[in-house]
Amino acid sequence: QVQLVESGGGPVQAGGSLRLFCEASGRISIYSMGWFRQAPGKEREFVAAISRSGGNTYYVDSAKGRFTISRDNAKNTVYLQMNSLKPEDTAVYYCAAGQFFGDSEWAGEYDYWGQGTQVTVSS
């Protein structure tokens, strides 16, 4: 079992950048990791995923070219670098860990979730 804690969210103007952190209580090298987000009144949606070694990454189309997911297994931390932020990126961002191989956009594949961190992008 692993506990996940997200941080790094906050208010930012459109066009700005934020780096989200997901710190785990245990070893994350045995988990595939993902970031999801949920905007008010909307369902949770996939943002990005990374395989156990970090060799494979996968993004939702709206994040490609703007967001980068990475991980440091030695620090048990996963990152989401978000550039060129848009108001439609406003949401609570969640980190998730799953005991599967590869990367996945399906929330049901993930076993552990953090409490989320709020990102608010103003125009």
- Reported as half-sphere exposure (CB side, CA atoms, 13 A), residue 86 has a value of 6
* Tens-digit pLDDT profile for residues 16-47: 999 999 999 999 999 999 999 999 999 999 99
DSSP code, position 17 = -
* Tens-digit pLDDT profile for residues 55-96: 999 999 999 999 999 999 999 999 999 999 999 999 999 999
Token representation of residue 48: 């990005």
pLDDT at 96: 98
Residue 103: pLDDT band by 50, 70, 90 thresholds? confident
pLDDT at 101: 87
Whether 34 contacts 96, CB under 8 Å: yes
Q: Where are the beta strands (DSSP E) in 1-123?
A: 4-7, 10-13, 18-24, 32-38, 45-50, 57-59, 67-72, 77-82, 91-98, 112-113, 117-122
What is the sign, positive or negative, of the torsion defined by CA atoms of 84, 86, 92, 94?
Answer: negative
Residues 105 and 103: their CA atoms lie apart, in Å, by: 7
pLDDT at 73: 97
Q: Is the pLDDT confidence value at 51 over 90?
A: yes
Token representation of residue 88: 């439609």
Q: Is the pLDDT confidence value at 102 over 90?
A: no
